[in-house]
Each structure stands twice: as structure tokens, then as C-alpha cells.
Structure 1
């Protein structure tokens, strides 16, 4: 028997304009008015910027002004570079690259909504008919579940930072959601068109961040089709698989033919993919559970409840398909030797969709507990953000002010009236939402997650308005880049370096530092990145010329980083 029994009043859908406004309110803060940050954000932007201002070789062999970066695939960077080409003159290169990030996020959000809608209107998901009628219509039920899935997705803590970065991960998570949508369409209507669409999304996913995850998803879909839908299996093998292979191979084959910079990134890209496969370790398992609990909050409690509530109908597509995607992502994360947050990101779309089908069966007591937890935790967090900002602006409370300036020495706070108004309005809106939820006690399905989502958006908006100058000061290399540029006699001087991708991108963009070309060079300047604990530079300079004498022109670092150090040397004798 189905576990769902609902009246039509519980399926009131959110207005489409309100959902779109919520998505825009989520994605815009954190993209406007900041520099590329010391994360994958700056490295990803560096690849896009190099492509946009480089030649066809840079598009075929991703690099950051000469530093090869073939590991993840070029698709996300192609999109960012195209945006820089089209809009860089209007909004600046950094913001133009983030237009692609906005597109990635909207693509993922739409895919999650429509996937849940299609699953929610299927006959096996419908609530039991009431004795005297009044149960919801299939389309209304599907729309309400889709609203819930999108709210849960926006409320996931792990999505916040990664969805605001110019990185391959931002596109990867959206393509996982799009692949879910294509899989549902293929299951509903097996045809050449839907099979081609499914294969295309898998191929694009492979060009974004490697073929390991899409291969796992394809194997999972094949197994699921073999067990539940034999009609789908034929289309998967005959059209989806060849399409995915053709798209995946298109970039490596073109690079092998064109030979950018006298070679091809194919070998390094394949090596990186193979390095993502290893035996699971206890360390990896600990990492998954330690970080996955908060990363996928609040999706995983609702998703777990959905699996339990529908345990007697586990073969139903709305449970089996997202659960399969989730299991594949978990397995890929466990066999990966790289324990980074990016490997957890693809599990959010299937979890959000699965969680939506747990909403109709949640007990009122559990919903109230989630609401009160959200209200207390997120209201406290928002209050702390406000108090910290007041301390930073006024010096009171003194201890908080000292801590803030200790983490960012030299930072000078300025009052931004527009940011203050935006933060105040967002806080007032949060109070209104909390009052509406607790006083009206609506019966709509998405009531269980509206406070969690609204609170997360509030805290992020407060951080990206009140605290953005402080965060940007601590995470940007703009100041260091400008110092280096002042010490170089001309913008055409060649600079060898051992700096990482983030630093290389920032110095080239902000300081117009001309690093050694792709195939290396014999430069008269060397920029070293090391630790303050390192005193001897002889060994570090050895790779740049044996028996060469160097003189140090400059030494510096970001004020917020006490360990990292940069030193600029000039060749004085061969």
C-alpha cells in the first residue's frame, strides 16, 4: 500500500516568479563585487581568462598562462571563456566568467524541478484516494513535490560555496541533475530522441570533470534498466552509449589532430581519470561520513525517511532512480584517493529529489523539530553575523573586533549603505517568514523545508553583503599581485615560477605578470612561493638554472596568511 494520504490543500504550489526570484537571490550574492578567491574559483577563472585572451591552442589544452591544467576537462572553461569574449568588455572579465556560473546554477535548479515534477505525477507516486474525494491532481502533486525538491537543494550547505565558484564542479553538479532529468524522460518515453539526450548529457559530464562518474552512472542505469525496464535497456546500449562515447572522445581526438603546443593533453587527462580509481580506505570512509553529514544537510534526513517510507515500493522509479544515482556517487567518492569536497557535490541533486518524496510522509512532530532547529540555529548564526559586523564597524564588542582584525591585519572597514539596506531587508524577510510559518502552520508539503532554506539564504546573503569586503581582503591576491608588478621593470619581462594555479591566475590577471610560456623559457626573473619557515632559497632556485646567481628584489605575502611567502628574484650572472 502507498504510504501517502493527502488532501488537495496540501499541494499548493509556489508561484513560478517567486521560485525564480528565490534562485536569483541565492546565486547573485557572492558573485558581484569580489575578486577571484584563493580556492578553485581563481584557478578556474585563470583557465577561462587564458582561453579568452589566447589562441585556439589554449582552448584545446587548458592552461593558466602557461601552466598546463588538463585534468578535469574543458567544457566548463569553454563556457566561461565564451562569456568573457561576449561580455568582458561590459562587466569585466571576472564578472563575465561568473555569468557562466549563473547559467550552470539555473540549469541545475531547473533540472531538479522538472525531474521531480515528472516523477511526482507518475501513477505509482500518487496519494491514496480519499473516501469522499478531494485528493490532489497528479500535476498539482508533482508541482508541489518539485517545489520541495528545489527548496531542499537550495538549502544544502555544501552547495553554497561551490555553486558560486568559476569551477568545473559548478557545472558538474548541474549536469548530474540534467542527466537525472534525461533518464526520467527516457524511462517515460523510450525513443531515439530521449536516448540521444541521455547520452549527450553523459558525454558533456565526461568533458566537464572526467569520465569516472558518468561511466558509473551509465553502468547504474544499465543495471536498473535490466532489472526494471527492459525496453529502456535497448535504447541505452544502442544510442545513449555511442553518443556518450562520441562526445567524450571529441575533445581528445581534436587535440590529437591539432597538436596544441606541439603535443596533446589526452594522455595527462586519461592519467588523471585513472588516478581517481583506487581501493576504498578507512580514511576515505571517515572523510565521507565526517563531511557528508553537514555537506548534504538538510537533504539526507528527508531522503533517508523517503527510502524507509517507500520500502515496500522500492522498485518505483521515483525511489529507485535517484537512489541509484546517489549510490553511484557514494561509490565514486569512496574509491577516490582525493578527499576533497568536490567529490561529494554530485550527490546533492539525487538526494534533494529523493528527499522531496519523503515530505508527504513526514510526521508533524519531526517537521516541527526540523523547523525549530532551523529557527534556533540559523537565527543565532544571522545574529552573530550582525554582531560581528557591528563590532568590525564600531569596535564593540571589543573582543570580537580584535579577533576580526587579527585575522585580517591592515583591513580598513567602510560602510556600504546599499549592502546594509540589502542585509536589513533580508533580515526583515526572515522574521516575516518565521512568523508566517509558526503562526499560520500551513499544511503545504514544502513547509518542512522552507525555514531551513530561507535561513541558509539569509546567512549567505548577510555574509556576502556585510562581510564581503573583509572576506575579499583575506581571500584575494590582488594586493600581492600589484606589489609584484611594481618590482618588475616592464610588463613584457618573462617570469619563471613555482606558484600554484590560484596564485598564477591572480598574478597574471591583477598584476599583468608575464609568466614563462607553455613550453618553458629562460627567464631573467623567478617568483618563488614557499613558507616563512624556509630560510634557504638555493634549492628552490636550482630548477631555474644551475650555477646561476640571483638577487632578491622583493618579498611579501597576503596580510591574512602568516605562513605563505612570495619572493621575486632577478638573474645577475650565468
Structure 2
């Protein structure tokens, strides 16, 4: 079949003008670095991931082989992301502080993801089967310009995703996993014209993904790769599978062997490896109404605006769905979405894994979007982010000036005890970003550019505006509401001058990591015979059971001011003779009237 009958793209060379490099880099750098520094680890996944990195950054060889949070094994995800975060703490922790140094790893993964998405789309966009219709008298774009325009669009779509803002700036294993998924995609695309080099990239990405997550996620994407190879014939499975799988298995085997032979005891190593290998299977199960409802409520907003554009790409390329630019990202996206549906305890942190293949697929819809769809995306982004920016400024003015009184009271009711301070630098940055937003909107509406990336410029600039304003004007308030710093330090002050250790009861990973880091509390396990208990209670369960000649005495209780659903209670083990009996209150008779 001729190209004229298959390609849905009819473009002139003017439509593939490259986005100014400085603008694209500015959006990537500002968006990626804002919110990484000058804040505490936030509940829940952010603080838990930092806790593992901090333990590696300050611990020994055993911590690196078997990641943990102050002795509690952490086998939910593989160690690779935590290794890099721990290395950053060791290198830069003394200069930046442990939390900011750990988030250097987040920045590294973020920029790596951006690079892999751009180059994957660029290589796909240069392929012969996706080139625009060749006019009789010329005027169509060349392959390189067309590929660059598509790559710019893919990167802007990725940055425009609303859900990337928070999750993409945390110290979680998922920020590394999304980078390695993008690396695998790049390896698959690169293998179409350079099989050996592409297979090496694919193998490193597959092995790194397994080391950053677990066997199930990596195995599922390997199965998706095989399916993609059967659907898309140019994909060189005969090179990809032996080279890629061999490299991935070698990477994972090296860690497993080091853990088995380097651990203090073989039993500990076997138990840790077994838990890591089994965690994925416990995290997934048959589809449930709970998971389906969660996805229905959150998926469409989290992945806006990429999901409607990606859906249109599938529709517009209906005659070429087995081509690499559609089938490769689509098969991986379908497998990741299936894993999302099979989660037992759904959470939006997993949505970020969908973004690389979805952004690459959506990029190929940009040349085929009708004018009505382009205008709809533009005007929605314009109205949404303008209203959002205005609301952020209005609420901040109310918080700062106390007017209107009701609005200010509602703000401080959400963060009781917070002391607001005026920061000149934050206000200046927010004003500059707001002015930049106005200029981008004015440029987009006045000049009406014809380039194919124009539908997502406002969306990408809007998410950058949203995130920068939140991380300047509202960072102190958000940090106050999401950190355990104050309650952890209060618990540390209540500890006896001399204590053996503190045993945590019903404390999550984020809480354990935060209390250990901010409070410098020495935690222990049941076998350590700790003389202090720190318990997390949703309700008051009463004092722990007493021992012979000893009893547990409540010495402190507290909670985060912004969280009413959790309370911490600390008990000390004391001898009964040392406990002063509490006299009942004296009942006084009231005089008769």
C-alpha cells in the first residue's frame, strides 16, 4: 500500500518548526528542580523512601545489601533507587543536608526520563512509515525536522501531566522505575535500526527496573516486549531477548549473590530475598471494585492531558497500528495498566509508571489533531491554570493579610498552630512565574503558531506555573502539614535521659524513618528488650500489658497538628515500687442552695 493511502499526516515544513531550545530547557529545569530543596520528607511514601536512603547513607555494608529503615527490612522495592539516593547523601549530605541530597537522585531520574522520552520519540518520528504525505510539488517537512517536532511535543506532554508534579519530586522507588521504563522504551526503539546497541540499552533498563522494583514488574514488561515483537515485525526479538535478558539476569544475579554471600547470616539473606521476590505477588490479585473505583476517580485527572491525546493517536493511526510508533508504546502501556488494575491496595503513586509510553504514543496524535480538539485542550488549560493561579494568589493574600477574615480563618483551620512568615524571595519568584505565564498565553493566542507542538505548550507551562507557585508561596504551609519534624522532636525530648532503646508499635515506614531522623531516637526490635515503647494509635487502646514487678507508664503523647487521625503514645517500663500511686480526686460536697 502506498504512503498516500496509509499516513494520516498532511503537514507543511512550517508545521515542524522546532520549539526554541532555551524555552524547552527552561521548562524542564525549572519544573524539575523546583520543590526538591528546602523542605522535609513528606508523609507517606516520600518519607519512607528517604528513610531507606538515609540508612544507606549513614550505615554499613549490610544496609546496602539488605536495605532497611533503622533495622526494619524494606523489601517492598529493590535496592537500586535507594543505592543512588544513599550515594548522594554520602557525597553531598554534609553540604546540602540528607533530605536535599537524597532528592538529587530524584532529579537525576527525572532528567533521565525526559531524555529517554525525547530520543525515543525522535527516532520513531524519523522512520519512513510515519513521514507526512509527500506533496507533488514538495513542501513537506524532512524526517529530521519532523522527528524533532514530535519529540518536543512528547516531552511537553510528559511535563503537562498534572499528576507528575507531586509524585515526580519525591524520594520513592517509582521515580527510578519510570526512568528505567523509559530506558527500556528507548532500547526497543533504538534496536529497530541498531539491534545490538538497542538490545544493550533494553537489557540495562530491564535489569535496573527489576533491581528498582521486583521480579513481577520486570517480567511483565518482558512479556509485553515479546508481544510487541510478535505484533511489530521489525522489532528484532532474536537480538533483544538473548542480549537483553542475559544482561538483566547478570545484573540481578550479582546483587543476589552479593547479598547471599555478604550478609552476616545466611538465614537473614534468604529471608530478605524471599520477601523481596514475594512482595509483588502479595501486592497484586484479582480485579476488585475498590481498585476499579479508585482508578475511575483518579486516573483521568492524574494523566490529563495525555490520556485523551493518546487515545486519539490510537484512533488516527488505525491503518498502521502494527507499526512501531503505535504498537511498541501501546503494548507496554497496556501491560502497565493491567498491573494497575490488579493492585490489591491501589495508590496514585503507580500512575507515574504509565506516563513514558503514554506520552510517546500521544506525540503521534499531534500532527492529526483537528482544530476543534486543539482549541479545546488550549482553552481548558488556559482557564484551569489561570483560575488556579488566581486562587493560589488570593488564598495567599488572605493568609498573609488576614483579609477576607473568613477565608483566612479557613486556611489556618487546616494547619492549626502554623506561624506564617513573609518571604520576599518566594514572592518575587512567584511574581516572575506568573508574568511568564501571562507572556506564554499572550504569545500563544496572539501569534497562533502552526507548529504541531502548539496544543501542549500552554498545558506544560501551566503545570510549571502550578508547581512553582505551590512550592514558593505555599511551601512553608505544605511542609508544616506533611512533615513529622515537630512531633518527632517532641517525642525525643520526652525520652528518659538513659534508655536502652525504643520499640515501635504499629508505626509505618514513614513514621519510623521520620522519628529516627528528626528525633535521633534509637529504635530496637522485640529481641532487644527495649525499655520504652512508642505506639501509633488511631484510638486509645490503653496501656500495654504489665510484666511481673514492672509496668508501662505513659510518659508522652502527641500528634501532628494537621492530622487528627493519628496519635503517638510513649510508655516507659518502670518498677512497680518506683511508681507513685495516683490518689483519687477529693470529692467535695457542694453547699445546698
TM-score computed with the length of structure 2 as normaliser: 0.93
The within-5 A match list for 1:40-439 is 40-191=45-196, 193-229=197-233, 232-260=236-264, 263-264=268-269, 265-439=272-446
Higher-Rg structure is: 2
Mapped partners of 1:65, 1:293: distance in 2:
38
Partner residue, 2:585? none
Contact 1:12 1:140 in 2 (8 A): yes
Q: How does 1:522-537 map to 2 (within 5 A)?
A: 522-531=529-538, 533-537=539-543
Say whether 1:504 aligns with 2:512: yes
Q: Is the 8 A contact 1:60 1:260 kept in 2?
A: no
1:492 Cα deviation (Å)?
Answer: 6.8
Partner of 2:471, secondary structure, is: helix
Q: 1:514 aligns with which of 522, 526, 529?
A: 522
- CA pair 520-186 structure 1, distance change in 2 beyond 3 A: farther
Relative to structure 1, the CA distance from residue 492 to residue 73 in structure 2 (aligned partners, 3 Å threshold; closer, same or farther) is farther
Aligned residues of 2:186 and 2:198 also touching (Cα < 8 A): no
Deviations 1:448-482 (A, max 9, x none): 01111111110111111000001111111111111
Question: Cα distance 1:411–1:41, how it changes in 2: closer, same or farther (>3 A)?
Answer: same
CA deviations 1:306-355 (Å, max 9, x no partner) are 11010011111101111111111011112222211122221111111111
Residue of structure 1 in register with 2:591 after alignment:
none
CA displacement 1:387-429 (0-9 Å, x = unmatched): 0100100111222211111111111110000000000000001
**Corresponding residue to 2:24 among 6, 19, 23:** 19
Match of 2:479 in 1: 472
SS in 2 for 1:22: helix
Kept after mapping to 1: 8 A contact 2:231/2:327 = no
Partner of 1:559: 561
Decide which moves more: 489-498 or 475-484.
Answer: 489-498
2: CA distance between counterparts of 1:560 and 1:278? 34
Counterparts of 2:498 and 2:359, CA distance in 1: 49
Contact 2:489 2:518 in 1 (8 A): yes
Q: Secondary structure at the match of 2:47?
A: helix
* Distance change (3 Å), C-alpha of 1:520 and 1:17: farther
How far apart, CA to CA, are the structure 1 residues paired with 2:131 and 2:498? 66
How far 1:491 sits from its partner (Å)?
Answer: 7.9
Deviates more, 1:508-517 or 1:270-279: 270-279
**Structure 2 contact 192–234 (Cα < 8 Å) conserved:** no
2: CA distance between counterparts of 1:331 and 1:231?
23
User: Residues 231, 398 of structure 1: CA spacing in aligned structure 2 closer, same or farther, 3 A cutoff?
Assistant: closer
Q: Which residue of 2 aligns with 1:453?
A: 460
- Could you say which residue in structure 2 is the equivalent of 1:570? 572
Displacement, 1:490?
A: 4.2
Q: Sort the Cα spacing of 1:241 and 1:547 in 2 relative to 1 into closer, same or farther, 3 A.
A: farther
8 Å CA contact retained: 2:543, 2:554 = no
| Cα shift at 1:3 | 0.5
Following superposition, the deviation at residue 546 of structure 1 comes to: 7.9
Question: Shift of residue 158 of structure 1?
Answer: 1.6
Which of 23, 29, 33 is residue 34 of structure 2 equivalent to? 29
Aligned partner of residue 528 in structure 2, secondary structure: coil
Q: 1:226, CA displacement in angstroms?
A: 2.7
* Partner deviation per Cα, 1:252-275 (whole Å, 9 max, x = no partner): 232122224661210111120221
- Which range moves more in the overlay, 73-82 or 487-496? 487-496
Partners of 2:49 and 2:530 lie apart in 1 by 26
The alpha-carbon deviation at position 548 of structure 1 amounts to 4.2
SS of 2:192's partner is: helix
Kindly state the Cα deviation for residue 230 of structure 1 after the two structures are TM-superposed.
6.6
What displacement does 1:507 show? 1.1
Q: What value does the CA root-mean-square deviation take over the aligned residues?
A: 1.7
Q: Deviations over 1:236-258 (max 9, x none)?
A: 33221222222223322321222
Call closer, same or farther: CA 1:43–1:130 in 2, change over 3 Å: same
Specify every segment of 5 or more residues in structure 1 that has no aligned partner in the other structure, as ranges.
none
Does the Cα contact within 8 Å between 2:488 and 2:518 map onto a contact in 1?
A: yes
**Structure 2: gaps spanning 5 or more residues:** 577-593
The 3-state SS of whatever aligns with 1:569 is: strand
Instruction: After TM superposition, give the deviation of residue 200 of structure 1 in Å.
Output: 1.6
Q: Distance in 1 between matches of 2:231 and 2:541?
A: 63
Q: Deviations over 1:369-404 (max 9, x none)?
A: 111111111110111111010010011122221111
* Cα distance, 1:343–1:130 mapped onto 2, change above 3 Å: same
* Runs of 4+, deviation exceeding 4 Å: 490-493, 545-548
Cα contact 2:502–2:533 (8 A) shared by 1: yes
The count of corresponding residues between Structure 1 and Structure 2 is 567
Partners of 2:183 and 2:201 within 8 A in 1: no
